[in-house]
Amino acid sequence: MSLLAVSSLAKSFGERRLLAIDTLTLNAGQSYVLTGENGSGKSTLLRILAGIEAPDAGSGRYAGRRFDWNPYPGWLRREIIYVHQQPYLFHTSVTENIAYGLRARGIEAGERERRLAEAIAWARLTRLLETPPERLSGGERQRVALARAWVLKPQVLLLDEPTANLDSESRAQTIDLLRGFCAEQTTAVIACHDRDVIELPDMQRLHLVDQTLRQALPPTS
């Protein structure tokens, strides 16, 4: 069943046309990997879907409800979460970073504490709770960012190169968390070049080339 669909999506920067996508349909509970050459528009597409950037043209539907980007609707921001390749963490604590979205949404204290404990256990962050965020490694920061997203139970999760520039242990831990996210029937779109992510079970492939979107990767040699 279609959850998020966009059509006639266009985006340019100056004289350069970056995206010209006729249709993109994301089905509920399906995971997708988004590939393409550097500069092909992967990050821009994710940011448009998340409402961080606006396209030059295009229309969208979420669960059958029409939306556009001027302005991007507040109700949709609660459904879709974007995790940056280099996630920003507040200079407070790991716990406060994960709890931030719950507080912002007015989740009552008892429920907030329950979900916070679940997220900390899910991302295996217990031993890092006393570590200042600025002292976390890249992989640890990524796990905090994933926990901050997971705790909000998003319907759509957009991830930009989540395993880039991580050491082998951190990369394996992040892939394991991604596998768990995908198994929970969250609709996920993961922009990456990482073959181990691309080959996760039941992952559908989207490939950006020449401004347009293809539903499968081109053959590899």
Question: What CATH code is carried by the domain that includes residue 94?
Answer: 3.40.50.300
What is the reported pLDDT for 217? 46
What is the reported pLDDT for 35? 95
Q: Is residue 137 included in any domain, yes or no? A: yes
Q: How many domains does the chain have?
A: 1
In this model, does residue 221 exceed pLDDT 70? Answer: no
pLDDT confidence band for 215 (50 / 70 / 90)? confident
pLDDT confidence band for 216 (50 / 70 / 90)? low
Q: 62-85: string of b/e by CB count within 10 Å (b at 16+)?
A: beeeebebeebbeebeebbbbbbb
What is the reported pLDDT for 120? 96
Q: Is residue 29 included in any domain, yes or no? A: yes
> Torsion over CA of 68, 73, 75 and 79, rounded to 10 degrees?
60
In this model, does residue 83 exceed pLDDT 60? Answer: yes
Rounded to two decimals, what is the model's pTM?
0.92
Q: Is residue 220 included in any domain, yes or no? A: no
Q: Is residue 91 included in any domain, yes or no? A: yes
Mean confidence (pLDDT) of the chain: 92
Residue 23's domain comprises 2-214
- The owner of tokens 């796990």 is 143
pLDDT, one tens digit per residue, over 162-206 is: 998 899 999 999 999 998 888 888 999 999 989 999 888 888 999
pLDDT, one tens digit per residue, over 112-138 is: 999 999 999 999 999 999 899 999 999
pLDDT confidence band for 1 (50 / 70 / 90)? confident
d(CA 152, CA 174): 18
Q: Is residue 167 included in any domain, yes or no? A: yes
What is the reported pLDDT for 67? 96
